[in-house]
């Protein structure tokens, strides 16, 4: 428990309050979800852990200027938050039946594993939290929403924007998921070796959704959120260590290969740079080497899933010294296999773009028109942007203009909107 400050210490701070605030801001940004995950394990309740997290940071803001910054700030914050939560439970217990109060306090104090506030926790609590959030007892959409909120700290509004649903809908999913975890007594642990493969698909899907939100933010002024991508890659590495399955290899490979292009995806002014215009000298060769090796391992297993196939496509792009050297025939072939393994309108759209690069814009445009005619991806801005680009290349400027305008009406991300506006302005009158 944090030490109490004396009146003398209060009159002469050891650390400037503004310095403490800056340090805590950085800790909250970098460590809050890790602290939250540990508090969930210790307290056994999501809402209680969230309250404890903020109480711990408030206590630090009050006490660290007087006591100094502890050697292990994260351990201090976990300990402070936990004790604040136990005190709150005991205060509320005065208004509960005695048996209920005793049970609530015991759950927070006695049944959680012992945790030494002066030592690092060896287990990765966030990986445990991911598996808890992805328990099959929860609906798939609730698994995703709860993981993005609890593990990654995304605001409810950001999750809603990512999945094009009202914020109230996401909030209801999260509340129901938490209630289900409490009612069903879902354990906060990594599944056993027997259960693990069955739970893998949901975890892979959620980790990739987190990565995608970081790689191409659903809305806002910036194209990417490096913190989310880094977190997804970290979880992917941990998952691969835990379960070295081909699809875990494929997912990590895919994330590494896409992440390798981050520095080249925007200009110095923050504008979007498409793949064929990127400076490939800025690509991270270490990530490409690591990702390509994982692709080879996954494909060699002969148990090939959608993540390994997408990673193989990314590897073909990464191996090309320049856009003209890209093996589009191989990419189309990989999309053909992916379309059989996991068919979807987005896969069909990506395949159509690859066909346009292999066979010409008219061939790709016919495929995209077929997708849109079926009513698929009607509200997906990238489908209309792709159609606009192919029309532009074919000199069909009126159609290109209409498609760019439709894409612009649907796009929510500032760099993408600026890119579409530039393309639209560049069309002949």
pLDDT tens column, 24-46: 999 998 889 889 999 998 888 89
Residue 174: is its pLDDT beyond 90?
yes
Domain ranges (residues) in the chain? 7-109, 347-429
Q: pLDDT by residue (tens digit) across 349-374?
A: 999 999 999 999 999 999 999 999 99
Three-point CA angle 393, 395, 398, nearest 5°: 115
DSSP code of 14? S
Tell me, what's the pLDDT at 278? Answer: 93
Mean pLDDT across the chain: 86
Residue 118: is its pLDDT beyond 80?
no
Q: Are 258 and 223 in contact (CB under 8 A)?
A: no
Tell me, what's the pLDDT at 78? Answer: 94
Instruction: Please list, in sequence order, all residues whose beta carbon lies within 8 angstroms of the beta carbon of residue 1, skipping any fewer than 6 positions away.
Output: 79, 80, 83
**Interatomic CA distance for residues 1 and 79, integer angstroms:** 6
Looking at residues 284-301, what average pLDDT do you find? Answer: 96
**Would you tell me which CATH number, out of the four given (1.10.8, 1.20.1070, 1.25.40, 1.10.3470), belongs to the domain 347-429?**
1.25.40
Residue 237: is its pLDDT beyond 80?
yes
**Interatomic CA distance for residues 269 and 246, integer angstroms:** 39
Tell me, what's the pLDDT at 164? Answer: 63
Tell me, what's the pLDDT at 365? Answer: 98
Residue 114: is its pLDDT beyond 60?
no
Whole-number percent of the chain with pLDDT over 70: 87
**Interatomic CA distance for residues 404 and 314, integer angstroms:** 26
Helix (H) or strand (E) holding 395: none
């Amino acid at each position: 428990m944090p030490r109490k400050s004396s009146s003398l210490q209060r009159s002469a701070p050891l650390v400037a309050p503004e310095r403490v605030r800056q340090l805590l801001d950085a800790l909250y940004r970098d460590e809050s979800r890790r602290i939250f995950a540990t508090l969930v394990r210790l307290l056994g309740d999501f809402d209680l852990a969230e309250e404890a997290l903020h109480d711990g940071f408030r206590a630090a803001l009050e006490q660290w200027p007087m006591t100094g910054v502890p050697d292990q700030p994260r351990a201090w914050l976990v300990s402070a938050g936990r004790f604040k939560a136990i005190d709150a439970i005991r205060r509320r217990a005065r208004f509960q039946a005695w048996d209920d109060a005793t049970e609530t306090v015991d759950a927070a104090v006695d049944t959680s594993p012992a945790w030494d506030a002066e030592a690092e926790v060896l287990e990765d609590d966030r990986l445990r939290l991911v598996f808890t959030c992805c328990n099959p007892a929860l609906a798939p959409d609730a698994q995703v929403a709860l993981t993005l909120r609890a593990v990654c700290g995304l605001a409810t509004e950001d999750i809603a924007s990512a999945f094009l649903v009202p914020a109230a809908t996401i909030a209801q999913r999260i509340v129901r998921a938490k209630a289900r975890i409490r009612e069903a007594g879902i354990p906060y642990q990594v599944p056993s070796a027997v259960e693990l493969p069955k739970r893998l698909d949901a975890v892979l899907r959620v980790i990739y959704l987190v990565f995608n939100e970081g790689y191409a933010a659903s809305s806002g002024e910036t194209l990417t959120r490096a913190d989310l991508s880094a977190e997804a890659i970290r979880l992917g590495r941990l998952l691969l260590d835990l379960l070295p399955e081909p699809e875990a290899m494929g997912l990590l490979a895919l994330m590494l290969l896409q992440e390798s292009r981050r520095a080249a995806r925007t200009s110095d002014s923050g504008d979007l740079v498409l793949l064929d215009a990127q400076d490939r000298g800025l690509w991270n060769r270490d990530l490409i080497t690591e990702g390509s090796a994982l692709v080879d391992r996954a494909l060699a297993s002969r148990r090939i899933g959608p993540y390994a196939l997408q990673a193989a496509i990314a590897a073909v792009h990464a191996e090309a010294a320049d856009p003209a050297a890209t093996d589009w025939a191989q990419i189309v072939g990989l999309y053909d296999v992916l379309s059989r393994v996991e068919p979807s309108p987005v896969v069909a759209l990506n395949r159509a773009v690859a066909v346009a690069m292999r066979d010409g814009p008219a061939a790709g445009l016919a495929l995209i028109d077929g997708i849109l005619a079926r009513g698929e991806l009607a509200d997906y801005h990238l489908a209309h942007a792709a159609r606009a680009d192919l029309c532009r290349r074919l000199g069909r400027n009126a159609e290109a203009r209409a498609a760019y305008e439709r894409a612009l009406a649907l796009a929510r991300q500032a760099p993408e909107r600026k890119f579409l506006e530039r393309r639209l302005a560049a069309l002949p009158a």
